[in-house]
Amino acid sequence: MHHGAKKVSQQYGVAVVVDIISGGWDPSRKRKIFAQLAGFGGGLGVLSYGREAERESDKFAVHCMVNADVDPEGIARFFETLLKLHKREPKGVEAWFSTHPPTQSRIDFVRSEIAKLPNTAGLKKTSARFEQIRARIGGGKGR
């Protein structure tokens, strides 16, 4: 099942549980408040799932790059660029509501996945076509 479908399914499951626990259609104030709090807690659980799905996607990307004979270190460098652009990582409550793992965490995770690979020395770091595209959009020379 795709990540999006799983997320919707989980949210629906949380809503059903909240309805059952809170008495469903009963409009009493206490039940409404309880239902909202339970929904909030369920939402945090779904966010955690989103972060795990992103890690899974990052791992998949590393293996796709290797299968295409391309050095997956470019993924880590991409995240380093994002980190520089954002200037800082989310902290506290802001981090709780993030659907993605912290960028530095993703860099570390990708590099740990790369370290598990047998040998990436011979993989392509760039190509003539990629450099043409980079030049066209003003990205400068490859690293």
Give the integer Cα–Cα distance in Å for 38 and 131. 51
pLDDT at 115: 96
| Sequence-distant contacts of 41-45: CB under 8 A, at least 24 apart | 42/10, 42/11, 42/14, 42/15, 42/17, 42/18, 43/11, 43/14, 44/96, 45/10, 45/14
Give the integer Cα–Cα distance in Å for 112 and 73. 11
Considering only residues 14 and 102, tell me which one the structure prediction assigns the higher pLDDT.
102
| Residue in 89, 8, 20 with CA at minimum distance from that of residue 46 | 8
pLDDT at 121: 87
The residue assigned the tokens 């391309």 is 70
Q: What's the predicted TM-score (pTM) here?
A: 0.59
HSE-up (13 A, CA, CB side) for residue 65 = 23
Give the integer Cα–Cα distance in Å for 60 and 66. 10
Considering only residues 138 and 40, tell me which one the structure prediction assigns the higher pLDDT.
138
Tens digit of each residue's pLDDT (9 = 90 or more) over 48-96: 557 788 899 999 999 999 999 999 999 999 999 988 887 766 665 555 5
